[in-house]
Amino acid sequence: MEFTGKKFSIMKFIEPKIHGFIDYMAGIILIAAPSFFSFDNAAETLIPASVGIIQITYSLFTRYEFGIFSGISMRKHLMLDMIGGAVLVTASWIFGFASEIWQAYMMLGVFEILVAFLTKPYSQRRHYRNHGVRVHQ
């Protein structure tokens, strides 16, 4: 899913540097979500915690300012964010606890998808450390 038209490029206003901060905060919130929302059973607890741990892990391997290892591109990272958001949005129905709690999953998943959709896939100022560009002095 790539939107390159003028209309869609204006909508992408979150810089990758800001997205990196949001990634780690959202990962921590997802890990802590079961205690915030008083989830009861194992599936309710395991799903957001797993998504949070996976999100922090692939954030560490993304080529952006908050990544430590430059393994995946920002575009792939944004696709993983959208997949994680979709998992959260649909999890309560797939795993059969929609009658108990679905609002928290919906809120967290939609947030993940929106942030991914509104993030620029590359920085205006390239991050030279992770792009293999040599700076000669």
90 token code pair: 């649909």
Note the pLDDT of residue 133: 47
- Residues 124, 126: Cα–Cα separation, whole Å: 6
Nearest to 98 by CA among 44, 42, 45: 44
The reply to whether 1 falls in a domain is no
The reply to whether 5 falls in a domain is no
Note the pLDDT of residue 3: 54
Note the pLDDT of residue 89: 95
Note the pLDDT of residue 55: 96
The reply to whether 54 falls in a domain is yes
Note the pLDDT of residue 5: 54
Query: Are 60 and 80 within 8 A, CB to CB?
Result: no
Number of domains composing the chain:
1
The reply to whether 129 falls in a domain is no
The reply to whether 30 falls in a domain is yes
Nearest to 14 by CA among 67, 65, 87: 65
Indicate the SS3 state at residue 62: strand
- Residues 89, 87: Cα–Cα separation, whole Å: 6
Note the pLDDT of residue 2: 53
Enclosing domain of residue 100: 10-119
Q: Rounded to whole angstroms, what are the CA distances from 135 to 57, 79, 88, 127, 130?
A: 29, 31, 42, 12, 13
The reply to whether 2 falls in a domain is no
Q: What is the pLDDT along the chain (137 residues), one digit of tens a residue?
A: 555 555 555 578 888 889 999 999 999 999 998 888 788 788 888 999 999 999 999 999 998 888 898 889 989 999 999 999 999 999 989 988 888 788 889 999 999 999 999 998 875 555 445 555 444 44
